[in-house]
Amino acid sequence: MGSRKPLKWETQEDRLVVTGMAGSSGNESGLPRPEHPRPDFFRREWLNLNGWWGFRFDDYNLGMREGWHLGREEFDGRIRVPFPFQSKLSGVHDEGIHEVVWYRRRFSIPEEWKGRRVLLHFGAVDYEAKVWLNGHLLGSNVGGYVPFTFDITALMEPENILTLRVYDPNGEQPRGKQDPRPHPHGVLYTRITGIWQTVWLEAVGESYISSIRVVPNVDDGRVSVNVRIMGETEGCALSASVYFAGIVEAEAEKPAEGGEVHLEVPLSEVKLWSPDVPDLYDIRLRVLRGDEAIDEVESYFGMRKVSVEGGRFLLNNEPYYLKMALDQGYYPDGLYTAPTDSDLKRDVEAAKRLGLNGVRKHQIAPDPRYLYWCDKIGLLVWGEMGDWGMPLNRFEAFWEEWRRVVERDFNHPSVVVWVPFNERNEARRGQENQRALVEVYRRTKDLDPTRPVVDTSGYSHTETDILDIHNYRWKSGRDWRNGWSKPWREGKTPRVLLDSLAEGFEYKGQPIVISEFGGWEIEPYKPIVDRPIEPRRLTLKDEYEFISRYRDVVGAIMEEGSICGFCYTQLYDVEGEVNGFLTYDRKWKVRPEAIAEIHARLHAKPA
């Protein structure tokens, strides 16, 4: 399904002028991130609102009192959406702390859209957003990692003024690796504020599809399609057409009355999805009133199954060994926002060149385009929330955002494990914090029973489907064998496993994954910030020493039959961390072929 071409447009300062419809050629205007932001939920009639917007800091919180939301005056600054103002690519590049910022954009609606409903979509805005159209409040959103949408049909005019107020407090919200201090330190990076994913418009019918959940059933050779429809559905039907490699595989249709439709679509021949063979099915969903299609959405899915059984991680009912790296989702010039779609694709291809079959997307809910490339190219993803910054006693508010992340990314076959929390050591003791982990784990399982859930990665495990462990003390294969293999041989439980459990909880035979280790630096690469990670874990003199060290430790891990996979820290350097296979600007520090050869040659012992 590739990249989708948006409506062709030109910018005149912060004004949008439509000159054609979807399918026109190229990106002559220099529009940043012009590709459709959601290939898994694609409509052909859409309009990209990225580019130059009016922008203003509001450090004294005067905007509401002075009526900035009414659109009576122009903002004196400009910002290049969708890049956060702290980034170079935003055109602002101010790394100071500004908790309140304002955006403004003028646009007109294409003539071809008259008589249609129009939806306004924000991919992600960090952290609290209020949105006005022509001085009228559309609504608000809380949560820096999740999309939100407004139906703007009733408030549209020939010329429209869109205004956005963002409040990003330096407080206790989930923020992942963003450092709340003015300058990044160690494993925390430059903070981001405001719009950091694409903003776009879509034309829909009076009745339109608002959500899709596709559940592959590998064992029965069928796919379940659950669709929610907004608007009047009396007399409407939902049709589904499934394609494989451009050929119709199956079709189904069902009345749409009531707004929720469940379809079971049998497949004549199941093509399984895996990192080695990432075959995808396309699906087209249409809302029909009589013979007229009043709304149409294109998506895709992969026929794959993930499960845990007998202390093993299974992919499509077969034991599957996980070879992963940590991926932080940061870019030198765009921070949270990749400069181009090709940069997202390149990161996936880099992991594949290393002979890896997966990544832990660490402390960030990624741009959906990243997951699209993982689906297309074939790379497993542990989907993690950026939970750092939030105390566990606020887990109810956290759950609302995490729930929306899971719902947004449910259909991606590449996402195989959910990880709501990371390294919540405060839950090692204390029933209140432990209750938060258990409650979010159970709710996540109820929301998505098709994937394993890790309660909190690394430490203080309570109820979990996979017991993953973080340990940076292993600097050699001998260290690993003495700390892990030797205790097993002597009939003892390794200390590092016991230390990974919360007080009062026991190991129950779950699959074990070493999900963080390494973190080794190579001379002469240096951090790009004044406050790098301390203490430095291990510095090696060149890439050859690194390869030898990696071969030694990974070989020891892979020969141990009790382990189901590993995740090296990390894929690329970020600011104060200089421990990647690549530099921060994605230049190879080690030969990827040498690392891939290690992964190919070493195999875990059979169960």
**Pairing of the two strands 539-540 and 521-522:** parallel
Tokens of 248: 């119709």
The C-alpha atoms of residue 14 and residue 125 are separated, in whole angstroms, by 19
- Kindly give the parts of the chain with pLDDT less than 70: 1-29, 535-536, 603-607
Question: In 3D, which of 576, 142, 174, 197 has the Cα closest to residue 370?
Answer: 197
Tokens of 22: 């979807």
DSSP one-letter code for 420: -
Digit-coded pLDDT (tens) for 566-601: 999 999 999 999 999 999 999 999 999 999 999 998
Q: How far is CA 490 from the centre of its chain?
A: 42
Contact 364/329 with Cβ under 8 angstroms?
yes
**In one letter, which amino acid is 35?**
E
Which pLDDT belongs to residue 258?
86
Digit-coded pLDDT (tens) for 74-94: 899 999 999 999 999 999 999
Helices 592-601 and 341-353, axial angle in degrees (round to 10): 50
> Helix, strand, or coil here: 63?
coil
Contact 599/323 with Cβ under 8 angstroms?
yes
**Pairing of the two strands 467-470 and 247-255:** unpaired
Which pLDDT belongs to residue 574?
97
**In one letter, which amino acid is 493?**
T
Is residue 469 within a helix (H) or strand (E), and if so which, with residue range? strand 467-470
Partners of 254 in the β-ladder: 238
Contact 496/469 with Cβ under 8 angstroms?
yes
The C-alpha atoms of residue 339 and residue 367 are separated, in whole angstroms, by 12
The C-alpha atoms of residue 184 and residue 280 are separated, in whole angstroms, by 40
Partners of 281 in the β-ladder: 244, 301
Contact 127/144 with Cβ under 8 angstroms?
yes
Q: What burial class does residue 325 get, using C-beta atoms within 10 Å of its C-beta: 0-12 exposed, 13-18 middle, 19+ buried?
A: buried
**Pairing of the two strands 222-230 and 208-217:** antiparallel
The C-alpha atoms of residue 415 and residue 408 are separated, in whole angstroms, by 11
Digit-coded pLDDT (tens) for 50-71: 999 999 999 999 999 999 999 8
Digit-coded pLDDT (tens) for 99-115: 999 999 999 999 999 99
Question: In 3D, which of 569, 559, 388 has the Cα closest to residue 473?
Answer: 569
Partners of 164 in the β-ladder: 103, 131
The C-alpha atoms of residue 37 and residue 260 are separated, in whole angstroms, by 25
Contact 263/254 with Cβ under 8 angstroms?
yes
Q: How far apart are the first and last CA of the chain?
A: 39
The C-alpha atoms of residue 380 and residue 358 are separated, in whole angstroms, by 4
The C-alpha atoms of residue 596 and residue 351 are separated, in whole angstroms, by 10
Strands (E), 328-363: 358-361
Count of alpha carbons within 13 Å of 243, Cβ hemisphere only? 11
Contact 484/503 with Cβ under 8 angstroms?
no
Other Cβ atoms within 10 Å of 561 Cβ, number: 13
Q: What burial class does residue 206 get, using C-beta atoms within 10 Å of its C-beta: 0-12 exposed, 13-18 middle, 19+ buried?
A: middle
Which pLDDT belongs to residue 72?
86
Question: In 3D, which of 12, 173, 140 has the Cα closest to residue 69?
Answer: 140
Tokens of 561: 């039959």
Q: What burial class does residue 247 get, using C-beta atoms within 10 Å of its C-beta: 0-12 exposed, 13-18 middle, 19+ buried?
A: exposed
Contact 280/301 with Cβ under 8 angstroms?
yes
Q: How far is CA 22 from the centre of its chain?
A: 26
Contact 281/252 with Cβ under 8 angstroms?
no
Tokens of 502: 């919360």
